[in-house]
């Protein structure tokens, strides 16, 4: 009788334990991160595709519900969204990440300085995605507790 009780109690504790942390994969907890992209994507946008994989891997490890992600693009980093207009793999990666609440922020200084139209030249960018300065936005987000990542 005592053995049966202990077995049932242990089974109940194991069952409860398996429900205690399912949303936080590997026990990472809630995270706020900013990915900084200001470089050229290289041949076939390889560096950009790698950065998008990094973001997706991060989401897979922590869970989208536990992660607030912003991707800040300035300078040559705008090439990611320019190339996504004609590169299906990049387009799919960006759309998939946006569907998981990843926010892409585009530097207005770069848009003006390089005469880039966010409506015509960039993939899936809206007015609310534009920030005055990419570098100032990076600093602001870090002051708000976002972890800085440069993939």
What's 81's domain CATH number? 3.40.1260.10
User: What pLDDT is attached to residue 17?
Assistant: 39
Provide the domain count of the chain: 1
CA distance 22 to 45: 35
Is 12 a domain residue?
no
Over its C-alpha atoms, the chain yields an Rg (Å, rounded) of 20
Q: Is residue 1 pLDDT above 80, yes or no?
A: no
* 16 within domain boundaries: no
SS3 assignment, position 35: strand
Sheet-wide strand order for 147-149: 130-131, 103-107, 67-73, 31-37, 147-149
- 75, 134 in Cβ contact below 8 A? yes
Write out the residue range of the structural domain in which residue 120 sits. 25-149
Q: Given a cut of 50, is residue 16 above it in pLDDT?
A: no
- In-domain check, residue 111: yes
Whether 101 maps to a domain, the answer reads yes
CB 3 within 8 A of CB 38: no
What are residue 103's phi and psi, to 5 degrees?
Answer: -105, 120
76 lies in some domain: yes
Q: Mean pLDDT, to the nearest integer, of 44-55?
A: 97
Tell whether 6 is covered by a domain.
no
pLDDT classification of 42: cutoffs 50, 70, 90? very high
Strand partners, 57: none
Q: Is the pLDDT of residue 6 over 50?
A: no
81: in domain: yes
Domain assignment present for residue 122? The answer is yes
């Amino acid at each position: 009788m005592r053995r049966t009780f202990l077995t049932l109690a242990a089974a109940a504790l194991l069952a409860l334990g398996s429900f205690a942390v399912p949303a936080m994969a590997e026990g990472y907890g809630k995270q706020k991160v900013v990915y900084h992209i200001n470089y050229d994507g290289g041949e076939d946008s390889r560096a950009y595709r790698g950065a998008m994989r990094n973001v997706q891997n991060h989401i897979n490890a922590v869970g989208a519900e536990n992660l607030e992600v912003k991707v800040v693009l300035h300078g040559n980093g705008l090439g990611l969204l320019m190339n996504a207009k004609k590169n299906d793999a990049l387009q799919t990666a960006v759309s998939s990440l946006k569907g998981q609440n990843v926010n892409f922020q585009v530097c207005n200084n770069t848009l003006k300085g390089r005469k880039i139209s966010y409506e015509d030249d960039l993939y899936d960018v809206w007015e609310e995605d534009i920030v005055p300065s990419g570098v100032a936005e990076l600093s602001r987000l870090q002051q708000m507790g976002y972890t800085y990542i440069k993939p």
